[in-house]
Amino acid sequence: MNIVLLGAPGAGKGTQAAKLVEEFGTPHISTGDMLRAAVKAGTELGKKAKSFMDAGDLVPDDVIIGLVTERLGEPDTEKGFILDGFPRTSAQAVALDAELSKLGRPLSAALLIDVDSEVIVKRLTSRRMCKDCGFIGSEANEQCPKCGGEMYQRDDDNEATVRNRLDVYEKSTSPLIDYYRGCDLLVSIDGDRDPNVVYADVKKALEL
Ligand SMILES: [Zn+2]
């Protein structure tokens, strides 16, 4: 499976990726994690990326594409990969297609975990985290069920911030979704259900 994972923050993308990784051992390639790792390791690309990040600028497409291409050259991706956090724009999607066709490993699907934004607002704003152990629960948890610690709401889980994140996501991702639909690669799964039910559908749709 050579897939690109799409979905709003809070849609459950990470949960589905973790299930695929656990069952199939497919590498989960998160560009956010890779950027942080490259910067830490001080690679050429990492240094380049850091100069943009330090200036508060977005890391340009060619740097990210360089990172992804480098990563896809590693042998563990030969049987497949799950790309997460990239591409973010249709220009990046076109560049990715070009790189993958050079490697002779075209995408098999763009998997969208689709959840209505009002459902996501509810999910994220009712999320509470344990001050002591980081356990993620909901507003129903007055105390942490794991350690008894105090539960609090993260700053970026307040409603205004969540709505802003969703707006940003929608604006940048809608063209991407249209792009993959046009290539006949889009697989859209209703993510507003139990994660195991969603996962069963994901496997069926990807013919796994
Ligand atoms: Zn706790």
Domains present along the chain, CATH in parentheses = 2-116+169-205 (3.40.50.300)
> Token digits for 40?
């830490």
154 is in an annotated binding site: yes
The alpha carbon of 132 and the centre of ligand 1 are apart by a number of angstroms equal to 5
Active site residue 181: no
> Token digits for 77?
């991706």
Q: What is the pLDDT of residue 150?
A: 96
The alpha carbon of 127 and the centre of ligand 1 are apart by a number of angstroms equal to 14
Average pLDDT over residues 57-82: 87
**177 has a pLDDT exceeding 90:** yes
**60 has a pLDDT exceeding 90:** no
Tell me the pairing of strands 81-84 and 109-114: unpaired
How far apart are alpha carbons 148 and 175 in whole angstroms? 45
- Which of 105, 122, 127, 203 is labelled catalytic? 127
Q: What is the pLDDT of residue 178?
A: 95
In contact, 2 and 100? CB cutoff 8 Å = yes
User: Per-residue confidence at 168, pLDDT binned at 50, 70, 90?
Assistant: confident
User: Per-residue confidence at 132, pLDDT binned at 50, 70, 90?
Assistant: very high
The alpha carbon of 123 and the centre of ligand 1 are apart by a number of angstroms equal to 20
Least confident of 29-43, 52-66, 118-132: 52-66
Q: What is the pLDDT of residue 32?
A: 82
Average pLDDT over residues 52-63: 82
Active site residue 105: no
Active site residue 71: no
| Largest interatomic CA distance in the chain | 54
The alpha carbon of 148 and the centre of ligand 1 are apart by a number of angstroms equal to 6
User: Per-residue confidence at 107, pLDDT binned at 50, 70, 90?
Assistant: very high
> How much helix, strand and coil, in percent to the nearest 5, is found in the chain?
55, 15, 30
Q: How far is CA 22 from the centre of its chain?
A: 16
In contact, 198 and 112? CB cutoff 8 Å = no
73 is in an annotated binding site: no
Q: What is the pLDDT of residue 113?
A: 96
User: Per-residue confidence at 4, pLDDT binned at 50, 70, 90?
Assistant: very high
**58 has a pLDDT exceeding 80:** no
How far apart are alpha carbons 76 and 15 in whole angstroms? 21
> Token digits for 60?
């340009």
200 vs 43, more confident: 200
- Which residue(s) pair with 110 in the sheet? 4, 186
User: Per-residue confidence at 20, pLDDT binned at 50, 70, 90?
Assistant: very high
Active site residue 165: yes
